[in-house]
Amino acid sequence: MADTQTAYELRLLFQEPGCPVCAFGQRVSSRYVDSLFYESVNDPAVRARLRASLGLCYEHAWLMIEARLSDALGQAILYRDLLQTLLERLPSETEIPDERAARRLGEALTPEAACPACESRAQAEERALQALARSLERREYLADFERSDGLCLPHLRALLQQETLGRKALAAVLAHQRRRLSGLEAELAEFIRKNDYRFQGEKMGAEGNAYQRAAGLLTGRRRPASKKELGLRS
């Protein structure tokens, strides 16, 4: 059932720009952060979990702030709690640590658990890859995938590790990825040509942001900037 739901949600993301597995992970982890602040910021277990990771990682902390995944009050409550945690771990003003104590302090100031939003994203991506490997066996599903931007390189590699991926589906995926790569390569060539002073009168077309799409293809889908882009209510 969970697999069917994932396959369904993923299929809708084939129509969005960029890698659909990235998009799925971004959506699920944002929903997680959203609900964390909406209902659980005062839950002692949630607080303890966030203390263990010393909050969210760089990427998710700024995503939370910039895409307004939580209101200012929720964040103030969380960060006050984390600053108190840090203050408890720092030595008092009169205590000057020796070298060994400095190393121990360094350890005490290191998160003991991963960012929970990163964990949520990694689990969601794994679910998406499993659902994708199975669903690509179905012809209509594959046809929809072939209208997508294709997978980023990290997720293509991860899909190749899925044991349930059949040979036919694999061949179709690789053909699609090759088409996307060579299409993008041609767009980059066109972009470079139009930057030549002899052709500068020619208007830039869709190839104007081909280098950004190429970066996304190699590293992963661009990070979303708004709740709307994340499919969340605003």
Q: Which stretch binds Zn ion (CB under 5 A): 3-11, 81-89, 154-162, 203-211?
A: 154-162
**By the rule CB under 5 A, 11 interacts with Zn ion:** no
Nearest approach, Cβ of residue 76 and Zn ion (Å): 20
Output 117 or 131, the one with its CB closest to Zn ion.
Answer: 117
7: nearest Cα among 163, 132, 166, 125: 132
Segment 43 to 102, residues that bind Zn ion, using CB under 5 A:
57, 60
DSSP 115-144: -HHHHHHHHHHHHHHHHHHHHTTSHHHHHH
> Is residue 213 a contact residue for Zn ion (CB under 5 A)?
no
Kindly state whether residue 155 participates in binding Zn ion, applying the rule CB under 5 A: yes
- Given a contact cutoff of 8 angstroms between Cβ atoms, the answer to whether 152 and 22 are in contact is yes
Q: How far apart are CA 6 and CA 31, in angstroms?
A: 14
Among 52, 105, 118, 142, binds Zn ion (CB under 5 A): 118
Between 23 and 190, CB nearer to Zn ion: 23
CA distance from start to end of the chain? 28
- Residue 22 engages Zn ion in binding (rule: CB under 5 A): yes
Using CB under 5 A as the binding rule, whether residue 13 contacts Zn ion is answered as no
Counting contacts by CB under 5 A, is residue 33 touching Zn ion?
no
Q: Which is nearer to Zn ion, 55 or 210 (CB)?
A: 55
Q: Extract the tokens encoding 18.
A: 């960029």
Are 41 and 78 in contact by the 8 Å Cβ rule? The answer is: yes
- How far is it, in rounded angstroms, from Cα 155 to Cα 131? 13
Which helix (DSSP H) or strand (DSSP E) does residue 187 occupy?
Answer: helix 167-194
- Taking the least distance from each CB to Zn ion, the nearer of 183 and 205 is 183
Name the residues that contact Zn ion, by CB under 5 A.
19, 21-22, 57, 60, 115, 117-118, 152, 155, 220
